[in-house]
Amino acid sequence: MMQFLPYLLMFVVMFVFLILPQQRKIKKEREFESSLKVGDKIITKSGIHGKIAELAEGTVIIETMAGKIKMERSAISLDMTKTLNKK
């Protein structure tokens, strides 16, 4: 039984340092995606700046200077959008 203790300890450490933070980040992103509303200024993960014109269940229509773009909600960057809205 004692020979399995190091493996068990290694698994617990990996879980705490790798899996839990990733799950928290995913939860934050899902909350962010569901809190989006029309008129919010956003930045996509590909760097496109715009304002939300319309919302659908899994997609958004973003109004940019060049026109409108339909994208998945998951393509909106949580970190960059928060930075944009702090200014």
13-38 pLDDT, tens digit each:
998 899 999 999 999 999 999 889 99
pTM (2 decimals)?
A: 0.73
- Cβ-Cβ contacts under 8 Å for 41 (sequence gap 6 or more): 49, 50, 51, 81, 84, 85
Domains of the chain by range and CATH?
A: 2-86 (2.30.30)
Portion of the chain with pLDDT greater than 90, in percent: 67
Q: What is the pLDDT of residue 15?
A: 87
Task: Say whether pLDDT at 1 is over 80.
Answer: no
Task: Say whether pLDDT at 49 is over 90.
Answer: yes
Task: Say whether pLDDT at 7 is over 80.
Answer: yes
Task: Say whether pLDDT at 78 is over 90.
Answer: no
**51: closest CA among 31, 71, 27, 32?**
71
Average pLDDT over residues 76-85: 84
> Which strands make up the sheet holding 59-64, listed edge to edge?
41-43, 49-55, 59-64, 67-72
